[in-house]
Amino acid sequence: MKIVDATVVLTSPGRNFVTLKVETDEGVTGLGDATLNGRELAAAAYLRDHIVPLLLGTDPHRIEDTWQSLYRGAYWRRGPVTMAAIAAVDTALWDIKAKVAGLPLYQLLGGASRERVGTYGHAGGRDIPELLDSVRARLADGYPAIRVQAGVPGLKRVYGVTSATGRRPVVEDWDTAAYLRTIPKVFDAVRQEFGPDLPLLHDAHHRLTPNQAARLGKDLEPYDLFWLEDCTPAENQEGLRLVRRHTTTPLAIGEVFNTVFDYQTLVTEQLIDYVRSAVTHFGGVSPLKKLFDFAAQYQIKSAVHGPEDISPVGMAAAIHLGLAIHNFGIQEYAGHTDLTHSVFPHAYTFTDGHLHPGQAPGLGVDLDEELAAAHPYEPSYLPVNRLQDGTVHDW
């Protein structure tokens, strides 16, 4: 079997997605997701200009060898653009292999370890009453666990939840002291309204120092969080030592990581409880499965990043992995617009707050190329965040 063509499809059915379609001489095709929010054109160009020419004529069944040659052969390793591009190839090749086998991908990853994949959804509001309504809405959607984000008095926007828009980044504002005062009150209100059983999560979006994060973790202990996510900037693994020493609030991290090396200290010193990387940004199904197996030795579980900017192709890959691995924790599922579901018709289902990959061979996702072409790429950026005095802060 040989790869005879590979094309990059950029489409914006409500938001941008980058999809790689790999075609073989036997007519079997595979899809991979390389969507990099706000930097989509870079991932698309990396694929088109530097990877597609290398794929033509190669054997799609040699997934590990292809991965290693793209990773090591480039000499310039790691980084989100490179790893999103390699992820799309790896995912497309797994899709092809599973289609040739006539099996849903999870069967090639070891088979089902559970009946279905549990999720969490997003609730947010500018103030507590609006937030409580949002939690009620997510519960009505069937979500068994809820991420809670809330407005901070004095700040213009609910932080960390703005979707990417426009030709220039939107500027948001931030005040760490006000945030640290507000969030425990928010969780107190949510617990009072919904009781002790509902699993609650919170994303600090890399905005705190280790000391601030330690204090927040301690302050949130009475509210028994499922996790506190990205409490400090993720580049500094050592910072998590301080956080861990001071709080038993479970910690999740890793949505911006792209190789196992970003996790080395965090995993071997058991500084976190959940690894957050997505197939799409971590080099594909192959390295993410290896990360989960590594993390399992330290009783750390999976929690794959699943915002709107992971396409249904990347989401399907996550669901297959989540069904197969032993140390599954939870799957983030922000969902997609109806138009996105039409551009990417898929076998996976979301029922009663749980995902199932379905029984279609491969990933079980198609691409309606005509509909995709009718919704072309639109320039778009994530927001930039500034303190009250104008200093740029982490977003």
273 binds ligand KDG (CB under 6 A): no
List the interface residues with ligand KDG, window 286-315 (CB under 6 A). 305, 307, 309
- Retrieve residue 230's tokens: 């990205």
Q: Which helix (H) or strand (E) holds 131?
A: helix 128-141
172 binds, among Mg ion, ligand KDG, none (CB under 5 to 8 A by kind): none
40 binds ligand KDG (CB under 6 A): no
Exactly one of 71, 106, 122, 205 is catalytic; which is it?
205
332 binds ligand KDG (CB under 6 A): yes
Give yes or no for a contact between 385 and 393, defined as CB atoms under 8 angstroms apart: yes
C-alpha–C-alpha distance, residues 117 and 318, integer Å: 10
C-alpha–C-alpha distance, residues 258 and 351, integer Å: 30
255 binds ligand KDG (CB under 6 A): yes
Residue ranges in contact with Mg ion by CB under 5 A = 203, 255
258 binds ligand KDG (CB under 6 A): no
Whichever of 95 and 203 has its CB closer to Mg ion, that residue is 203
Is 159 annotated in the active site? yes
Size of the site for ligand KDG (CB under 6 A): 10
C-alpha–C-alpha distance, residues 335 and 350, integer Å: 9
Burial of 261 (0-12, 13-18, 19+ CB in 10 A): exposed
96: nearest Cα among 5, 219, 231: 5
Exactly one of 159, 223, 263, 274 is catalytic; which is it?
159
DSSP strand E in 138-216: where? 146-150, 171-174, 200-203
- Retrieve residue 224's tokens: 């028994």
User: Judged by CB under 6 A, which of 33, 40, 203, 273 binds ligand KDG?
Assistant: 203
Whichever of 95 and 262 has its CB closer to Mg ion, that residue is 262
Is 336 annotated in the active site? no
Measured from each CB, the residue nearest to ligand KDG is: 37
**Active-site amino acid positions:** 159, 205
- Which residues are near ligand KDG by CB under 6 A? 37, 160, 203, 205, 255, 305, 307, 309, 332, 382
